[in-house]
Chains A and B, each alone.
Chain A
Amino acid sequence: MGRASLTGVHVASLSLTDYRSYAGVDLMLEPGPTAFVGPNGQGKTNLVEALGYLATHSSHRVATDAPLVRHGAQRAVIRSVVVKDDRRALIELEINPGRANRARVNRSPVPRPRDALGLLRTVLFAPEDLALVKGDPSERRRFVDELLVARAPRLAGVRADYDRVLKQRNALLRTIAASGGGRRRGARRQDEEAGFAAAGAGDVLATLEIWDAHLVRHGAELTAARLELVDALRPMAAKAYATLAPSSGLADLDYRCSADEGKLSTDIPQLGITREDIAERLRAALAEVRRTELARGVTLIGPHRDDLQLRLGELPARGYASHGESWSFALALRLAAYDLLRSDGGDPVLILDDVFAELDDQRRRRLTEIVAPAEQVLITAAVAGDVPPELAGARFDVTEGTVTRVR
């Protein structure tokens, strides 16, 4: 297999309680390739989805947690022993839809679930990845943010803070829009409070400025982190795409900021853009759209409106790339993420959910070459023939929610 030594991370066991279709399942896993084979709808994706959830605290298939809990149960539990450099860590995550999840590491509760992030890192390939190329910008933002958090779990906090500011600011803008715009309300208040000059001059607008300041602060930090990430990802994605589809054009990434219509692209980190520069642009852009925001009641500028543009040659991939090119691009993004995580030290666990069946021979062969040396590869497939022979290793058959080791 060409694995000289184990340098990365692998999953040694996985147990699920009340997760999706499983009331309970316990699996022992080992380094190298492992295939889960069974007809569709029998629960193989649920197994790898659970591992992906453990690594990112979100599912690659659904946006909310409720479907992850077995029908009739209150909560789902994912337990896994993760081995890194011969050290074993037991991670337990309790999924409570509608409430905060709880996590334990080596039987000790951690204060916040996100403190358990970073112990297990995965890169998950799935048919859903096609949405990275063909879907809305939110799909690509999610891709970038998940990778950010996998590399620096601290950024989960920055993202949460940003989302909170955004909610508060949107709530305020909605109130202003509903009351007929800040200008009129401010004027009325001034009349009411004659002789109370300090608070009079439209205090609705004064509070908006405070939310602006917070939005700019957290937004600049998130944007700076994303720009840096995309800058590192760019050559890796280009290389992976060239390997998968050598006859196609050059793949490139470009981070487009809502703050200045894309002028703040990934070329800029090399020119030494700082977080303060980004903050400056956000502030200026907010001032420009103020009137529109007040009328529409929603925040129009910030990392929540940015996009990661994918280009093939001179054309944007979205709308121009063929189905095959789109697939290659999606795979290239995941492979770039894998490369990037590896360059930080430690192989992440690779998960290939139903991917090989979607690929033609050439791409299947090239993907196999790239993933074969990984420390651990988990593969799901409807039929055993979909698993390339180079990736033959342990095998589990999954039928009607029962998982049986056959090899």
Chain B
Amino acid sequence: MYEGVVQNLIDELGLLPGVGPKSAQRIAFHVLAADPADVKRLAHALLEVKEKVRFCRICGNVAAEDECRICRDPRRDPQVICVVEESKDVVAIEKTREFRGRYHVLGGAISPIDGIGPDDLKIRELMARLADGQVTELILATDPNLEGEATATYLARLVKPMGLKVTRLASGLPVGGDLEYADEVTLGRAFEGRRLLDV
């Protein structure tokens, strides 16, 4: 155990995801040795993120204002909504520059073990967005694991009566990889989702 304040810092750092006791100690001593101005900047950034960042009133993505950058952008197609679990998924999809519609961030996936049901996700907000009939396609981009699939199925059933096009992101082979290295589940999915080659 270290002197009180140092141990406090180590304990706090240790609560962060992916940081174990050893890493927490290393970061703490890095902070101790660092230039005070650098540390102030870090502290300021931490405080600022909690004070300034809000969640978009429309899509639930992180935003600096009432509405996020994407929801405010008039060039984005209002007819297509892509549903993701977390804000970081928005960033991942934005990097592709393939998608020009808007997003909806659920804030997680259905998982009874963790006590997360549909009520704990931003599903009500999504239904409200779909109510005016402007949206024609809903793309379900939840994670391709059990909980993500369950959430996607739930949403698909929920919006079915509305008669809009509901699609799910494809699962399959990684681009640029070798077929032989794909695991059986992924390869099996790729077979299920195979498509007609148009030539």
Known: A111-B183, A154-B184, A164-B146. A199 touches B153 (CB 8 A): no
**A168–B111 contact, CB under 8 A?**
yes
A199-B113 CB under 8 A given contacts A111-B183, A210-B154, A214-B150: no
Contact B124 A171 (CB under 8 A): no
How far apart sit A338 and B173, CA to CA, in the bound complex (Å)?
36
Q: Count chain B CB atoms within 10 A of each CB in A111, A165, A199 and give the residue with the most.
A: A199
Which one of A157, A168, A207, A213 contacts B118 once the chains associate, using CB atoms below 8 Å? A207
C-alpha spacing A209/B150, complex, angstroms: 10
Given A161, A165, A206, which contacts B154 in the complex, CB threshold below 8 Å?
A206
Interface status of B178 (Cβ within 8 A of chain A)? no
Q: How far, in whole Å, are A169 and B124 apart by their CA atoms in the complex?
A: 23
The reply to whether A203 and B119 form a contact with Cβ atoms under 8 Å apart is yes
| Nearest chain B residue, comparing its CB with the CB of A152 | B184
Q: List B residues 68-114 near A (Cβ within 8 Å).
A: 110-113
Partner of A198, one of B110, B117, B127: B127
Cβ of A211 under 8 Å from chain B: yes
Q: Is A167 an interface residue (CB 8 A)?
A: yes
Q: Is the CB of B150 within 8 A of A210?
A: yes
Q: A157-B184, A204-B117, A214-B149 are known contacts. Are A199 and B127 too (CB-CB below 8 A)? A: yes
Instruction: Say whether chain B's binding surface is mostly helix, strand, loop, or mixed.
Output: helix
The reply to whether the CB of B158 lies closer than 8 angstroms to some CB of chain A is yes
Closest to A204 in B: B117
B153 touches A198 (CB 8 A): no
Give the complex CA separation of A164 and B123 in angstroms: 24
User: Per-residue CB proximity of A74-116 to B under 8 Å, as 1/0?
Assistant: 0000000000000000000000000000000000000100010
Count residues of B near A (Cβ-Cβ below 8 Å): 25
A115 CA / B181 CA spacing, docked (Å): 12
Distance to closest chain A CB from B99 (angstroms): 25
The answer, yes or no, to whether B176 is at the interface (CB within 8 Å) is no
In the complex, are the beta carbons of A199 and B183 less than 8 A apart?
Answer: no
Residues of A contacting B153 with CB < 8 Å?
Answer: 210, 213
Binding site for B on A (CB under 8 A): 111, 115, 154, 157, 161, 164-165, 167-169, 171-172, 175, 196, 198-199, 203-204, 206-207, 209-211, 213-214
The 3 closest A-B pairs by CB, nearest first: A171-B112, A172-B112, A171-B113
A selection of 9 A-B contacts at a CB cut-off of 8 Å is A165-B146, A171-B115, A175-B117, A196-B124, A203-B117, A203-B118, A207-B110, A210-B153, A214-B146
